[in-house]
């Protein structure tokens, strides 16, 4: 239905029907001037993220469902990066004329899907018209663990870990931007497609695109000995740079220890690209990057160590190259 027919309050009512009822910890949800939340015993965590059409997403490449899913996923990732437990979400949306209420319901179904997985309740926000593109701002509130894990606690001698493969999302985005139409052919059952004369396996292409469109944040379970943590949104080198900056320390990365997916390896090989370019600088992985003492037992991948100062990558031949914090930065 056209929003001009439904109006702001009509849309809000329609969307509210698609939002699960108020849950534990929410004393008053959507519909008043502010939400009323039961405070946990000690500390709360709050994070906010803005997504703007044409800057952060392109609706030619993503469905509203996927967009809603990712919108909340990136906020969840920030709460996990503090060692916390996400609880309450506020959604502000600026909606341009060209989208209708069905689009917004689809967006909310993506939000609700991942909210349900992690027991998160939507408790409020703002809904307004936009003359420009679609604008989303999410604020996620979480309960903090007894020990909050900041970016600033890394110590010389700590090992550096990541919780998942890197570079998939960046490669997925490149594929989506270059061959969206051909990816549609993958979705309709083709086994392979062509790009620049090279053959790509559809299963790989779809897996990488999906990593970009619907990141799957996951917390680490045992944070007792973790000294610092961040989620990888700007890219491994850039986000490790944030940890080094805040911890006033240096870092070495063992390039060959950086985990790569088989899909990234396969597609990069077909295209004649270096997969590490994507893994080190790509961004939007939404896996956790953390530091802990050498003897820390974890299922995460150990990719390097914290040193006194300097930032280096060591390759398989033992060659040491300094690195700068390269990654995405707005305005530049």
Query: If residue 101 lies in a helix (H) or strand (E), which one and from where to where?
Result: helix 101-118
Q: Which of 28, 63, 192, 298 binds a copy of itself (CB under 8 A)?
A: 28
Q: Which of 20, 23, 27, 203 binds a copy of itself (CB under 8 A)?
A: 27
123 binds a copy of itself (CB under 8 A): yes
45 binds a copy of itself (CB under 8 A): yes
Q: Assign 3-class secondary structure to 247-274.
A: HCCEEEEEHHHCCCCHHHHHHHHHHCCC
Q: Which is nearer to a copy of itself, 182 or 227 (CB)?
A: 227
> C-alpha distances in angstroms, 191 versus 150, 208, 209?
45, 15, 15
> C-alpha distances in angstroms, 97 versus 3, 59, 216?
7, 15, 31
> C-alpha distances in angstroms, 280 versus 202, 233, 270, 283?
24, 11, 19, 8
134-153 positions binding a copy of itself, by CB under 8 A: 135, 137, 139-142, 144, 148, 150-152
Q: By the 8 A CB rule, do 302 and 257 touch?
A: yes
- State the Cα–Cα distance between residues 100 and 108, nearest whole angstrom: 13
Least CB distance to a copy of itself at residue 135 (A): 6
Least CB distance to a copy of itself at residue 15 (A): 13
- The site for a copy of itself, by CB under 8 A, has a size of 75
- State the Cα–Cα distance between residues 129 and 8, nearest whole angstrom: 8
- State the Cα–Cα distance between residues 264 and 292, nearest whole angstrom: 28
Q: Which is nearer to a copy of itself, 37 or 72 (CB)?
A: 37
Strands 85-95 and 250-254: unpaired
Handedness of CA 161, 165, 171, 173 (dihedral sign): negative
Least CB distance to a copy of itself at residue 271 (A): 29
Please classify residue 330 by burial: count the beta carbons closer than 10 Å to its beta carbon, then call 0-12 exposed, 13-18 middle and 19+ buried.
exposed
57-86 positions binding a copy of itself, by CB under 8 A: 77-79, 81-82, 84
221 binds a copy of itself (CB under 8 A): no
Q: Which of 19, 65, 105, 124 binds a copy of itself (CB under 8 A)?
A: 124
Least CB distance to a copy of itself at residue 232 (A): 11
234-263 positions binding a copy of itself, by CB under 8 A: 246
Q: Write the binding mask 177 to 216 for a copy of itself: x where contact by CB under 8 A, - elsewhere.
A: ----------------------------------------
Interface region with a copy of itself, contact rule CB under 8 A, candidates 3-11, 166-174, 197-205, 215-223: 3-11
């Amino acid at each position: 239905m056209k929003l001009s027919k439904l109006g702001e309050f009509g849309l809000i009512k329609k969307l509210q029907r698609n939002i699960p009822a108020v849950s534990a910890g929410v004393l008053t949800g959507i519909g008043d001037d502010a939400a009323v939340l039961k405070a946990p015993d000690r500390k709360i965590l709050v994070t906010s993220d803005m997504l703007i059409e044409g800057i952060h997403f392109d609706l030619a490449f993503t469905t509203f469902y996927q967009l809603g899913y990712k919108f909340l996923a990136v906020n969840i990732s920030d709460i996990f990066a503090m060692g916390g437990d996400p609880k309450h979400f506020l959604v502000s949306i600026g909606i341009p004329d060209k989208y209708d209420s069905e689009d917004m319901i689809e967006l909310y179904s993506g939000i609700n899907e991942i909210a349900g997985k992690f027991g998160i309740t939507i408790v409020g926000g703002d809904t307004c018209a936009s003359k420009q593109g679609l604008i989303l701002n999410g604020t996620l509130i979480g309960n903090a663990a007894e020990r909050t894990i900041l970016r600033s606690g890394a110590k010389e001698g700590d090992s550096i870990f990541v919780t998942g493969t890197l570079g998939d999302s960046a490669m997925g985005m490149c594929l989506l931007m270059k061959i969206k139409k051909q990816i549609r052919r993958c979705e309709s059952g083709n086994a392979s497609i062509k790009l620049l004369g090279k053959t790509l396996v559809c299963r790989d292409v779809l897996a990488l695109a999906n990593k970009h469109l619907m990141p799957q944040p996951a917390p680490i379970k045992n944070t007792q000995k973790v000294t610092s943590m961040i989620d990888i949104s700007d890219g491994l080198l850039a986000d490790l740079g944030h940890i080094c900056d805040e911890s006033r320390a240096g870092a070495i990365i063992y390039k060959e220890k950086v985990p790569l997916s088989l899909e990234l390896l396969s597609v990069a090989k077909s295209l004649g690209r270096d997969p590490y370019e994507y893994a080190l600088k790509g961004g939007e992985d939404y896996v956790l990057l953390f530091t802990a003492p050498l003897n820390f037992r974890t299922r995460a991948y150990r990719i390097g160590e914290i040193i006194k100062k300097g930032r280096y990558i060591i390759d398989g031949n033992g060659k040491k190259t300094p690195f700068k914090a390269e990654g995405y930065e707005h305005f530049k």
